Amino acid sequence: MSDEPRPSGSSGRSRLRRRALAGGVTILAVACAVAGAGTGALPGVAEWRPLSALRGPVGEEVTGLSAPPPARAAPGALAAHAERLERAERRRVTAARTWGLRAVPLRPPAPPKRKPALSTESGHLKGPGLPPVITRVPTGDKVVFLTIDDGAEKDDRLLEMMRQLDVPYSSFLADYVARDDYDYFRKAHRNGSAVHNHSVNHREMNKLPYREQRREICRQQDILEREIGERPELFRPPYGAYNTDTLRAARDCGVRVVPLWAEEAFPDRIEYGRADRRLHPGDIVLSHFRGRGEWDGDMPAMVRRVVDTATAQGFAIARLEDYI
């Protein structure tokens, strides 16, 4: 403990405030320097980055941290917030090394205050009152969205990897493969993964009459509400196969949006939907709950492929539900 005399009076209080503010600024600089590692190779910090580069200005949400201080926070609160930020970023650097990533994943920007207006993309079916069919979200943010379908493989390492890296993803579950262990998906949901509808039996919707399609979608809505605690608003038809009856049934079951995908990810490759073979802002990336029985790799290898590819191309992985 320092034996320096404690300042007294108004001038002493002013000096204390200046010291506290200086300490907060120092901690912020350290935190931002640590965050800068996300833009370069793992061994060191690539560059200093302002705090706004992580998730938005001070006072806005930072993924994985407790509630931030108010916009006009006292120096002590600001310093404590910066310390939490620094610890979180150091944990992500460690996690990136642990899971074999080439670089620390980039942080997404703050979610848009107003979600983009969605409309059915060219080449897809549409009609008055029907949910829009999309493969990407209309945004200029350099973000992409990871979505994982079915639910057959329940790899605990996936949950741990995503939690440690603080990378969001969305699950689209089919009951016929998920039903043997909904506890796994409840845990994923508690960790922040949204859970959406992929039908009960994973049948090709466009080969079924309206009534059977509605049964497949509405029953899964009921199942997921019971098992997860929320009624989904997104539905992805198995195989991407759908017709106008599919969209009618989805609407009648409470679905707002039908997200398909722009790329599909595997442990050993990414299959692009465009000739330039690159990610684009707002792209939805599809993968599956699969393992070595069907893949040349496992789920952590698939995530590593997606995250390394996104980071190398300057993209962060954002939460789909923040945008639609």
Q: What is the 3-state secondary structure (H, E, C) of the chain?
A: CCCCCCCCHHHHHHHHHHHHHHHHHHHHHHHHHHHHHHHCECCCCCCCCCHHHCCCCECECCCCCCCCCCCCCCHHHHHHHHHHHHHHHHHHHHHHHHCCCCECCCCCCCCCCCCCCCCCCCCCCCCCCCCCEECECCCCCCEEEEEEEECCCCCHHHHHHHHHHCCCCEEEECHHHHHHHHHHHHHHHHCCCEEEECCCCCCCHHHCCHHHHHHHHHHHHHHHHHHHCCCCCEECCHHHCCCHHHHHHHHHCCCCEEECCCEEECCCCEEECCCCCCCCCCEEEEEECCCCCCCCCCHHHHHHHHHHHHHHCCCEECCHHHCC
Average pLDDT over residues 223-243: 98
Least confident of 25-39, 47-61, 148-162, 237-251: 47-61
Could you report the per-residue pLDDT of 246-293, keeping only the tens digit for each?
A: 999 999 999 999 999 999 999 999 999 999 999 999 999 999 999 998
Residues in Cβ contact with 2 at an 8 Å cutoff, skipping those fewer than 6 apart: none
112 vs 36, which has greater pLDDT? 112
102 vs 70, which has greater pLDDT? 102
Position of tokens 């539900």? Answer: 321
Question: Where exactly are the structural domains of the chain?
Answer: 9-98, 133-322
pTM of the model: 0.80
Contact by Cβ (8 Å): 173, 185: yes
Least confident of 57-71, 223-237, 245-259, 290-304: 57-71
140 vs 60, which has greater pLDDT? 140
Contact by Cβ (8 Å): 310, 280: no
Least confident of 50-54, 159-163, 231-235, 282-286: 50-54
Average pLDDT over residues 99-105: 97
Q: Is residue 15 predicted with pLDDT exceeding 60?
A: no
CATH number belonging to domain 133-322: 3.20.20.370
Q: Is the dihedral of CA 35, 41, 45, 49 positive or negative?
A: negative
- Rounded to whole angstroms, the Cα distance separating 147 from 46 reads 30
Average pLDDT over residues 105-134: 97
Query: Which residue, 143, 162, 163, is CA-closest to 324?
Result: 143
Query: Which residue, 235, 229, 230, is CA-closest to 259?
Result: 235
**Per-residue model confidence (pLDDT) at position 69:** 57
Query: Which residue, 110, 86, 82, is CA-closest to 25?
Result: 82
**Per-residue model confidence (pLDDT) at position 81:** 78
Confidence grade of residue 87 (pLDDT, cut at 50, 70, 90):
confident
**Per-residue model confidence (pLDDT) at position 34:** 42
**Per-residue model confidence (pLDDT) at position 85:** 83
Average pLDDT over residues 197-203: 98
Confidence grade of residue 72 (pLDDT, cut at 50, 70, 90):
low
- Rounded to whole angstroms, the Cα distance separating 128 from 81 reads 48
Q: Is residue 154 predicted with pLDDT exceeding 70?
A: yes
**Per-residue model confidence (pLDDT) at position 18:** 43
**Per-residue model confidence (pLDDT) at position 71:** 60
- Rounded to whole angstroms, the Cα distance separating 189 from 183 reads 10
Pairing of strands 258-259, 143-150: unpaired
Q: Which residues pair with 275 in a beta bridge?
A: none
The amino acid present at 145, given as its one-letter code, is F
Rounded to the nearest integer, the mean pLDDT of the chain is: 84
Contact by Cβ (8 Å): 145, 171: no
85 vs 201, which has greater pLDDT? 201
Least confident of 21-30, 93-102, 156-165: 21-30
Q: What angle do CA 287, 289, 244 make, to 5 degrees?
A: 60
Query: Which residue, 232, 239, 233, is CA-closest to 260?
Result: 239
**Per-residue model confidence (pLDDT) at position 117:** 96
Contact by Cβ (8 Å): 107, 38: yes
